Amino acid sequence: MELFPEYTSLTKSSPPLPLAARMRPDSLEKYFGQEHLIGKGLPLRELVETESGLSFILWGPPGSGKTTLARIAAKLTESVFHEISAVNAGVADIRKVVQSATQIWKTKGSRTILFLDEIHRFNKVQQDAILPFVENGTIRLIGSTTENPSFEVIPALRSRCQIFRLETLDRGSIRNIVLSALSDKENGLGESKISLQEDARELIVSHANGDARRALNVLEAVYDVVFSKKESKVSLARVEGIIQRAATLYDKKGTEHYDHASAFQKSLRGSDPDAAIYWLAKMIAGGEDPRFIVRRLLVTAAEDVGNADPQALLLALAAAESLDRLGLPEARISLAQAVIYIAKAPKSNVAICAIDAALDDIQNKGLSYPVPNHLKDTHYQDAKVAYGYGVDYKYPHDYPGNFVEQDYMPESLKNRKYVDDPKQDKKE
């Protein structure tokens, strides 16, 4: 039985498969990375190795091994494997897979795995169409996504799937993948007489940014160029000439947008200027809207620095003004200036604690009271005479030190403190 029908009948007239496709592992023993998920006895490994009908979703960055795990699961369980990209597929494609799965089960007793790549691209109607066939076991769904399934996959489908978070591959895993490709004589570059210098290899590893596919694509391109020029080794200069500026691991429209904003703001709050500058650079390099960055600065200056150093908010406002006047790239300097200042500034969150506590009293606890008579407006005729408004008000400037004791709160909140509670003035 053919498990991967889309890859059959490749003839000599067909273009060779890319190195990344040829080096795709066909077993867990050859799989690098994600040890936290596929270690012995761990849940994902159990699901991959067993013929369980339980569906699951793999959430992780590009090149982290999602497709490979799905294919290994199909091979180990001897399931028929159908791969569909949500980018260009629809409900009709799902129906075809379901029909095939039904027939194969009746005739051969074999399970069908539907690997739905970029499942987050399917809309609600399309995801709903999969539900009954996942629920009744007609297909075993393995979804793949780079976006948080909590936001992009409907609850009904999530409830029928286990969700596993794949991490960006570390440098060690990428290095092992490159070394494996260099030594593999059947599918890799092991038969080549070209040598790869260590510094050139490490540049490929670094450039990959945790994406195994990118590393292998660069490696293949470099070897193709060196071979065509009849050179015997791959130098650092040759790799530098092939690769372009490394793509920043940042999606300004997806989960990465919120994760980076969170890391940025928490670094500012935590008084780590180096980390704050790094996340600032990451967002700028990723094409983030600089106005969004400025808003995070303004919020942090007010929320986390506050009156511990009021200058922080003024500097954030100045950074916003400089952005409007200069734009990028020049405004990166004023942004960095504000970031460093805010990160190093003393911290106090009493302002946000105070306003939120007052809002909670009013909106959620029903502590909404009218203005006391002595504080009411008296600028109009008969306010004092007819209504008694302002009669008992004491004008502070008539008293020594421009201060006099009097109640400004409603009677029922006379002793309520929003600002002077020391419990409020603390780091979160």
Query: How far is Cα of residue 359 from the mean position of the Cα atoms in its chain?
Result: 32
- The structure's pTM equals 0.62
Q: Are 182 and 215 in contact (CB under 8 A)?
A: no
> What are 388-401's pLDDT values in tens digits?
888 889 989 999 99
Q: What CA–CA distance (Å, rounded) separates 284 from 288?
A: 6
Cβ count within 10 A of residue 112: 22
Residue with tokens 């490490």: 202
Q: Are 168 and 66 in contact (CB under 8 A)?
A: no
Q: Are 174 and 208 in contact (CB under 8 A)?
A: yes
> What are 170-187's pLDDT values in tens digits?
999 999 999 999 999 999
* Every domain of the chain and the residues it spans: 5-165, 171-242, 255-344
φ/ψ bin of 71: left (φ > 0), alpha (ψ from -120 to 50), beta (otherwise): alpha
pLDDT (0 to 100) of residue 192: 87
> Is 241 strand, coil or helix?
helix
- Which residue ranges in the chain fall short of pLDDT 50? 1-11, 246, 424-425, 427-428
Residue among 254, 279, 251, 274 nearest 264 (CA): 279
> What are 272-317's pLDDT values in tens digits?
999 999 999 988 888 888 889 999 999 999 999 999 999 999 999 9
Residue among 54, 47, 66 nearest 147 (CA): 66
What burial class does residue 306 get, using C-beta atoms within 10 Å of its C-beta: 0-12 exposed, 13-18 middle, 19+ buried? buried
Single-letter amino acid code for the residue at 137:
G
Q: At what angle do helices 331-344 and 273-285 cross, to 10 degrees?
A: 150
Fold of 5-165: Rossmann fold (3.40.50)
CATH of domain 255-344: 1.20.272.10
Residue among 54, 138, 52 nearest 94 (CA): 138
Residue 106: which H helix or E strand, with range? helix 91-108
Residue among 92, 163, 104 nearest 139 (CA): 104
Q: Domain 171-242: state its class.
A: mainly alpha
